[in-house]
Every structure is written in C-alpha cells, then in structure tokens.
Chain A
C-alpha cells in the first residue's frame, strides 16, 4: 500500500462510497460537469431575472424580444458572447490577459464543490469545508488584479485596485463573523454545521427538540448571531462587488472596472464568476445562519403546535436528500434575489465611505460580536444579559436619532 495513494484518495470519493478509483474518478467528473453546467445556466437565468426585476422596479418591461416575454434572452446572450471576437488590446500583457478570467472563474467555481447541497452529500466532503471555501476564493482577488494589470488600461487598473482593496478589507469582518459562528458549532465541516442547526434553540437553549427555524444559527444567541448574520451579508455583498459596493466597476467613473478591455467569452467568464460568487456567499450564509438544508419547520411545529403534522418532517433516505436540496437552493436563491433587490434600491458608496464602513463600523462590530457570542456560548445567561444591554444601547441610539432636531442643510453654491 502506498501512503501517497491512500492519502490522496482521502480527498476523493473512493473512500466515501467505497468503490474502485475509476468509478470515483468518473463520479467526480460527472459531478463537476453537472455543477459547471448548473452554474452556467444559473448565471444566465440570474442575469435575466436581475434585468426583469430591474425593469419591474423602474416601470419598464425589460427584455421582451427573445422567447415568450423575453425569457430566452439569457440563451441568446450566451450564444452571442460565445461567437464574439476575442479582442486583446495592443497594450495588454497578452499572457496574463488571457489567463486572468480563468483564475477568477476557477476561484469561484472551486468553492461550489465544498457546499453542503443536501443532507450527507457534498460534491467533496471535507472537514475543513468553510476554510477551503475561504481559501480558494482568495484566488478571485488575484485574478482581478491580474486582469486589471494585464489590460494595460488605467480604468481597468483602477478598478482592479479598488476591487482588491475592497475584497481584502471586507474579508476581515466576514472572517470575524464566521469565526463567531464557528465558536458555536465547533467544527469547520459544513455538513455538520447544517446538521447541528436541527435542534437547540433561541438564546442557547439546550434541547434535543427540533425547533425548526428557531434552531437556526441566526437565532442561536439572539441579538448577536443575528447581528453576525447581517454583518456577514453586508460583507459578502462587498466581497462580490455588488451594489451598493460596486465601486470597482462603477460605470460612471471607470467604464466597467477591471473587465473594461475584455470581450466575448473572456468577458462572460468574469460574469459567470460574479454570479457564481453571489451564490457561494449566499450559500455560506444559508449554511451558517439559516439552517442549511434543514426545513424551517421542526418537530416542535408538528408535535406541539400541530402545524403540518407529518408533512414537514423530512422524509427518510433519498426523499430527505431531495428535500434538503430544495431547501438549500431555496434559501440561497432568496438571498441572491435580495442582492438583486438591493442593487436596484441603493445608490453606490464612495471609496472612502466604503472603507469607513468596513474598518470603522463593521470590523469593530464584528469584534465585539465575536466576544459576545463567545460569552453567550460560555454561559447563555451572560448572553441574555449582554443581549438586553445591546438592545438597550441600540434603542438609545434610535431614540437619539429620533429626538435629535433634523440637521438643516445649507448647500454651498460655488
């Protein structure tokens, strides 16, 4: 037996399903093919949905020409992108310019293999789950920097620098909130994290009863985990360069940011990566805060409240897996749609405001929150006391805001 051979197979399917290596290799290939196609179709549909929502919010009809009500527009777009000419600017560093989209896309695609899609099954089961996701997604930053530099255009370079600075900065609050949740779960394995949200309750109540939605991570130690959830989501928005944090591609300032010079398929890889990233951060939020693949109704609902008796208990075996798949994707898509909604609602931050929000507000908040979650986990009563104090603090802030006289603006006319 070669230790080497054995060690690599630890990472593969052959240990998990106990089959010969070629079946494991075939299974890996099939899963990757399924995921990559799923990703492409999902990204296409998401662009369309985004445009439709934008149109609805701006009282337009949106894409209307291709297919019924324009619902095939995404396929037409994809075809067009595939057949477009691949233009490389004269000033570009040709090798890096060609490589960059794949580094970005590879980074966001690799995250997908670690997501806990359904109970007991991830494309790759690894006990460092979330750490792996955080690790491979760091190559997105490098790809963006590569694209910006290689384009040989100042707009692209500005966009890349902004993107990198932003992503690196927001990794701090995001990492801290995830750390806080890891204090509760005590594992990095995303499957286990999902499973642990089946029982237990609000304010750290220790129980084996499945409380459904009240057992989810966001409601574990109530004010703090929920704050962690919001902090994570805000940071995740910034990390995916979505509005209101889309200053790396601010159209009014930078043309299109780091992918200004790209066209055709290479451009679409950036696009795919952006949408893949949106899904990944939403899926992480789902796993850590919203119960992963668990349904929102626990046995508590069916047994005690008598709601949905026998319906909302997850079935056994394959049925359980598919129900888990449904809930996981459902929750993640809701979060993705929330991002779309935010995009067409909020205006864009300025660079300094963005950094101010990250370093002066979110990071201290995440730090305090981390300590609070740690103390709550140590003793739920301390957590309860801290929660009351925190709520009182927030209430006082709101009261001051309400009581304060409205500031009178004196616009300066130059």
Chain B
C-alpha cells in the first residue's frame, strides 16, 4: 500500500468513524436538540461516503435535501414543540424482545447482502455489457474486460477560439491476470474522428474542432500503467479496441469521465447526466411511486396539523 493510498484510507476511515460516532450521539444523547444537531454529522459523514464512491451528484443532493431541508425541518419541529427539553426522551424500559428480534433480523439481512453481493465499485452494468459485446465483436478475446468508469474533474480546458486548451485524459489500465497465450496482454484504443458534440453541449455554444487520431496501446505483463491521451474534446468518438489474452481493468480518467457506449464512447460530465437518464427511464416507476408515497405523507401531515372544525 503506497503512501497516497494509506493516506486516503486514513481519510476514509476518519469520515466513516465520524459518521458512526455522530449516529451514536444521535441515539444516546439525552438532549434532543443535541441529537438533532448530531444528525448533521451523520448526514455529512454519509455524504463523504458517497464522495468516496465518486457519486458527486448524490453528495450534493444528499446535503441539499437532508441537511438543507429535512434537518432544518426536524430542528424547527423540535424547537417549536412546547417544553421538549423537559421531556426525558431516553427510553426507561429496556427494548422488548420484539424490538431486539426486529433489529437482529435487519442486521442479518444487511450482513447477508454485504457478504453475498459482488461489490463492483467500478462500472455500471451497462458499460460492462457493452464492452463485453464489443470485445466479442472486434475479436479474439476470451477474457472479460472490466471497464471502470471513472469520473473526472470536469472541464480542465479553456474554451478559446474554438479549441480546448490543456485537456488531457489518463487511460489507466491494469492487467490482473497473466495472458493465457504466449503473447502479452494487449489493449488498444483508437480514437478517430469525433462523431458529434456531446448531447448537452449545444453546438452553438461549443464550437469544438475535430480531434486528432490518438492511439494507445499497452503491452506485456501485469501491473498498472497510465497512458496520457491529450488533445481530446468532449464529444462522441468512434473507437476500436482489441484485447488479446489476459485479464485486466481498463479505466479512463482524468480531464473527462467516460462512458462506453457500443462502438462509440461519450465524454460525460460527471454522474449527473447518467443519473438523470436512469431516473427518467429505467427507474421511472419506482421514482414516481416514491413521490406518491411522499405525497401521501404530506397529505397525512396536513390532516394531522389542521385545526379541528367544531361542529355547531
């Protein structure tokens, strides 16, 4: 484990421990206001976990909704409740057997999920399958190519006179399994002309110029290497890839994040767009069902809060 990795792990566990400690404080604090404020720590800790999962949009949404909305609402409710601090909120009675049983069930379910699920921290399923399909198309690989979708820093270049300056993309690849054949593991990615502008990048605001051909090849042996692709502009590129023998991970990262889409890949700006597309297509029904649930909760709250009209 390198120093950088160690440091990042330390940072990760600091956030994780912080979140756990804060949640314990929420549960155990006898002062309900302090509990509510400790929730702030929990929510920020969870947001940090999302950040470690590269889900930047989810981080922002988490903080906006839970810290800016829900938590403020909770604190308001607590403050407006008459003499709430005088109430002893701690449970006098020990948790009943039913509660213990329920909690154990949930814990068991969580453990099962954690243990059985393959935690693919890298790629969304779509890009993986399309990559596999492509690998089959283009030929002679039996090895699975694991495409890691990494999200980059957004724009690093500057728009000026129709060209982006200093954008670069690091193609990081890792060969994890020795090639079965005598020949070395080989992955080649060739980006030729740009097909079209990025969908959300309207042409009129983004007068990009076509990109030069870039070819990256990797050869021989295990390990991780970085190749630098320079002079790439956002857009869709035609590409060809071949992977011969071995097994490895290919990650495109750096200036721009990438999505593999059939025979073209699109330079995406972060997770916001894929998330929006997923919510509005594949997960539309659950999404709408949840909103119905929230509506029901809202109606219920309004019903409870309304004043009783006295019958005359």
8 Å CB interface, A88-128 against B: 93, 95-96, 103, 119-120, 125-128
Q: How far is the CB of A281 from chain B (nearest CB, A)?
A: 15
- Quick check: B152 and A10 within 8 Å, CB to CB? yes
- Quick check: B37 and A146 within 8 Å, CB to CB? yes
Also in contact, A10 and B153, with CB within 8 A (given A15-B170, A96-B34)? yes
B238 at interface (Cβ–Cβ under 8 A)?
no
Residues from chain B with a CB closer than 8 A to the CB of A188 are 270, 272
B8: contacting residue among A4, A127, A185, A320, CB under 8 A: A4
Residues from chain B with a CB closer than 8 A to the CB of A149 are 33, 75, 79
Q: How far is the CB of B262 from chain A (nearest CB, A)?
A: 23
Mask of A167-194 contacts with B, CB within 8 angstroms, 1/0: 0100100000000000001111101100
A65 at interface (Cβ–Cβ under 8 A)?
no
Chain B residues touching A, range: 35 or more
Q: Interface stretch among B49-57, B103-111, B285-293?
A: B49-57
Also in contact, A131 and B60, with CB within 8 A (given A10-B153, A15-B253, A126-B154)? yes
8 Å CB interface, B148-163 against A: 148, 150-160, 162
B308 at interface (Cβ–Cβ under 8 A)?
no
- Quick check: B52 and A127 within 8 Å, CB to CB? no
Residues from chain B with a CB closer than 8 A to the CB of A10 are 54, 150-153, 253
Bound-state Cα–Cα, A103 to B72, Å: 14
8 Å CB interface, B107-144 against A: 121-122
A339 at interface (Cβ–Cβ under 8 A)?
no
SS class, residues of chain B in contact with chain A: mixed
Interface centre among B122, B168, B224, B272 (most CB of A within 10 A): B272
Q: Interface stretch among A26-34, A134-142, A222-230, A389-397?
A: A134-142
A8 at interface (Cβ–Cβ under 8 A)?
yes
Bound-state Cα–Cα, A198 to B158, Å: 12
8 Å CB interface, A261-288 against B: none
Q: How far is the CB of A146 from chain B (nearest CB, A)?
A: 6
A207 at interface (Cβ–Cβ under 8 A)?
yes
Mask of B147-183 contacts with A, CB within 8 angstroms, 1/0: 0101111111111101001101010101000000000
Q: How far is the CB of B120 from chain A (nearest CB, A)?
A: 10
Q: How far is the CB of B250 from chain A (nearest CB, A)?
A: 11
- Quick check: B63 and A136 within 8 Å, CB to CB? yes
A164: contacting residue among B62, B64, B72, B160, CB under 8 A: B72
8 Å CB interface, A8-26 against B: 8-11, 15-16, 18, 21
Residues from chain A with a CB closer than 8 A to the CB of B202 are 186
Residues from chain A with a CB closer than 8 A to the CB of B170 are 15, 18
- Quick check: B153 and A195 within 8 Å, CB to CB? no
- Which B residues form the contact surface with A (CB < 8 A)? 1-5, 7-9, 11-12, 31, 33-34, 37, 40, 51-54, 56-57, 59-64, 67-69, 71-72, 75-76, 79, 121-122, 148, 150-160, 162, 165-166, 168, 170, 172, 174, 200-202, 204-207, 224, 228, 249, 251, 253-255, 269-270, 272
Sampled A-B contacts (25; CB under 8 Å): A2-B9, A4-B9, A5-B2, A9-B4, A10-B150, A11-B51, A15-B153, A21-B3, A21-B7, A126-B270, A127-B56, A127-B269, A128-B59, A131-B64, A132-B60, A134-B60, A135-B62, A142-B72, A146-B37, A185-B205, A186-B200, A186-B201, A195-B159, A199-B207, A314-B160
